[in-house]
Amino acid sequence: MDKESVVGVASDHGGYELKEEIYQYLLDQGYQVVNLGCFDESSVDYPDYALKLGESLKEGEIDRGILVCGTGIGISIAANKIPGIRAAQCHDIYTAQMAREHNDANVLALGGRITGKNTSLRIVDIFMSTKFGEGRHKKRVEKISEIEQKYKKS
Ligand code: RB5
């Protein structure tokens, strides 16, 4: 992603510390970054922050998002309920690369209690720099959108 792109970051309390590290890291890299909270370690509910970031992406206020909760599980499940959001929970460089190349993930989910800072920042690098592979993967990602359409409330 070019440095003109806007990245959103959000977390619950379980991901707060890592989210702040990522926020600062992306700023240092020259990205425009929007910090959507939370802003301290007080207990909050991860779906609220998944929704905040997901809606911001849908509105076009951000181009890509990074979510962090304790495990990365709850916040990715919640984000993936929003049509058009493809949140990928990644634990390593390979899953981050595949999430972009094969799945065109627009949101990265990390576990602040699972993945250490250095690995997380490498995952962020890969997530930000890897392009979607298009080709055969495009058809498959389009099928995800078709599932969303099928279950959309009329
Ligand atoms: C909060 O304690 C924890 O449940 C949350 O951060 C996350 O791990 C949920 O999936």
Report the predicted TM-score, pTM, of the whole model to 2 decimal places: 0.97
Please state the φ and ψ torsions of residue 61, each to the nearest 5 degrees. Answer: -75, -30
Active-site residue, 38 included: no
Active-site residue, 90 included: no
Block means of pLDDT (10 residues each) for the chain, length 154 residues? 92 98 97 98 98 98 98 98 98 98 98 98 98 97 97 80
- Look at residue 60 in the predicted model and tell me its pLDDT: 97
Q: Which residues contact 151 (CB under 8 A, 6 or more apart)?
A: none
Residue 66: beta bridge partners? 9, 108
Nearest to 66 by CA among 2, 19, 130, 14: 19
- Look at residue 154 in the predicted model and tell me its pLDDT: 62
Ligand 1 site: residues with CB under 6 angstroms? 12, 14, 46, 69-71, 73-74
- Cα 139 to Cα 5, 95, 136, 144, distances in angstroms: 25, 20, 6, 9
DSSP-derived letter for residue 68 is: E
Q: Output the CA 148–ligand 1 centroid distance in Å.
A: 26
> Which residue among 13, 38, 69, 90 is the active-site one?
69
- Look at residue 48 in the predicted model and tell me its pLDDT: 99
